[in-house]
Each structure stands twice: as C-alpha cells, then as structure tokens.
C-alpha cells in the first residue's frame, strides 16, 4: 500500500494565529500516527509562518513513523536537517516569498548544486527526494544528480482532473514509468484530495508515498482527524 504522510504545516499555521500552543503541533503529530498515518511531513520556511525550526527539533524524538522534512536547501535549512537527521528530506526549489510549492526542480540547470546537497544528506543516511514536474528530461536529470526518489508535483493533475481525468494523468504515467525504469522511488504531492487521490493511485505504478496537508486538514474540520486519515488511507489501498 502507498504510504500516507500527513503534512502538518496548516496545524502550525492555526497555532501561530494566537500566542498559545493551541493546537499543540507535537501532540497533533503523535495523534496522526496513532490514527494510522505512515509518516509526518513538515516544511519550514524562512519566515516561519507555519512550522517553526524549533518545531522540527521537538518533533524528531516523538515521530515514530517516517519523518520527512521539506524545504529549499539554503544553509540554515541544511544545517537543521543534518542535525535532526530525518528519515527523508524532500528538496523543493522554492524562493523565500512563495505562498506554496508550485514547480519542480530544473535538474539540468541545477545539476552541480543538487549533486552536492544530495551527497551531503545521503552521507548522514538521510533518504533524499526532489520535487519535479513530469518533464521527462527533468526525470532523467533527477537520476543524474543521485537522488533516491522524486516527488511528482501534482498541482497540474489536480487542476485538470475535473475536466478530463485521462488527460490529467497521462504525463504522470509517462514520468512514473521512466522513473521506475531508472530505479528512482516515486512520491507525489500537492493538491491531492479525497476526490482525485484514488484515480491517481490506481494509474501510477510503484507509487511509494503521498504527502498531503492542506486538503487533509481541511477535511478534518468536517470529519475529524482520525476518520479523515482513515478515509485517505482507504483510497491508497
């Protein structure tokens, strides 16, 4: 079964709206695991508008499933990741001021940079995934830089899914097939939800993990977090 990693950024965003530790991000992560999540994802940004760097250090000793830290590999981020040593680090090409991750790496233009970063992370036994679009040249470039996995950016899939499911999935199938042939693990994330996740899972072979935050947390407002996690996990079976 494809693993479900719950991104808890939006929980931290809610907490940061008041000068209270409510909701408690660490306890929420523990509860997500207790309710069936296969992993916890955080994406600290330079302005710490949701997950704070201190949260990452506090989460490390309590997360018992897979701990995945996402982010742009600047000096501060890499120092934190090397100190925390999560199970997986997902590298994204976000500039500091973006609202959310919305594009994959140019693995050809950034080849030397990514090679160095990935090598340093792997030397600490941290599995590395890099955020990519479905461009096959970028998939080939991902293999060249030495990453363990790719995370397919599923924003375009989500946008087109309602109009034409087959058209929405076609490029992802081709990208996943190439990645599999190259020996790359396949993750996916961004705007996956209860409506479009099952179809994606059914049509993408060798899908190891999805990371879902915004939609899952929004659904939890209606269904409760325990029930919501189980709803998503059923779609991944």
The model's pLDDT over 44-95, given as tens digits with 9 standing for 90+, comes to 999 999 999 999 999 999 999 999 999 999 999 999 999 999 999 999 998 6
pLDDT at 19 (0 to 100): 84
Point out the catalytic residue in the list 43, 50, 66, 209. 43
Residue 70 annotated in active site: yes
pLDDT at 95 (0 to 100): 67
**Residue that has been written with the tokens 């940004």 in this structure:** 45
How many domains, the chain? 1
Residues of the chain below pLDDT 70? 95-102
pLDDT at 101 (0 to 100): 57
Three state DSSP letters for 124-149: CCCEEEEEECCCHHHHHHHHHHCCCE
Q: Which helix (H) or strand (E) holds 209?
A: strand 207-212
Rounded to whole angstroms, the Cα distance separating 60 from 112 reads: 30
CATH code for the domain of 166: 3.20.20.70
Segments forming the whole domain that contains residue 175: 3-235
pLDDT at 103 (0 to 100): 83
67, β-bridge pairs: 40
Residue 40 contacts residue 55 (beta carbons within 8 Å)? no
pLDDT at 100 (0 to 100): 59
Point out the catalytic residue in the list 33, 66, 70, 151. 70
Residue 190 annotated in active site: yes
Point out the catalytic residue in the list 3, 50, 190, 209. 190
Residue 226 contacts residue 35 (beta carbons within 8 Å)? yes
Of 220, 172, 224, 174, give the one whose Cα is nearest residue 193.
220
């Amino acid at each position: 079964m494809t693993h479900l990693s719950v991104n808890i950024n939006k929980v931290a965003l809610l907490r940061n709206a008041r000068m209270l530790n409510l909701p408690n991000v660490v306890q929420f992560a523990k509860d997500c695991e207790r309710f069936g999540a296969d992993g916890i994802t955080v994406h600290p940004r330079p302005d710490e508008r949701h997950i704070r760097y201190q949260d990452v250090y506090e989460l490390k000793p309590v997360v018992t499933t897979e701990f995945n830290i996402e982010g742009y590999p600047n000096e501060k981020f890499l120092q934190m990741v090397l100190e925390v040593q999560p199970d997986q680090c997902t590298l994204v090409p976000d500039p500091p001021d973006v609202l959310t991750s919305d594009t994959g790496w140019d693995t050809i233009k950034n080849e030397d940079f990514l090679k160095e970063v990935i090598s340093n992370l792997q030397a600490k036994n941290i599995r590395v995934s890099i955020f990519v679009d479905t461009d096959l040249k970028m998939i080939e470039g991902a293999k060249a830089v030495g990453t363990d996995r790719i995370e397919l950016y599923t924003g375009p899939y989500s946008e087109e899914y309602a109009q034409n499911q087959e058209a929405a999935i076609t490029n992802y199938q081709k990208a996943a097939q190439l990645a599999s042939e190259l020996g790359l693990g396949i993750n996916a994330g961004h705007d996956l939800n209860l409506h479009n996740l099952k179809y994606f899972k059914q049509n993408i072979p060798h899908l190891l993990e999805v990371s879902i935050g915004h939609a899952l947390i929004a659904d939890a407002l209606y269904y409760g977090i325990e029930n919501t996690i189980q709803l998503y996990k059923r779609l991944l079976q």
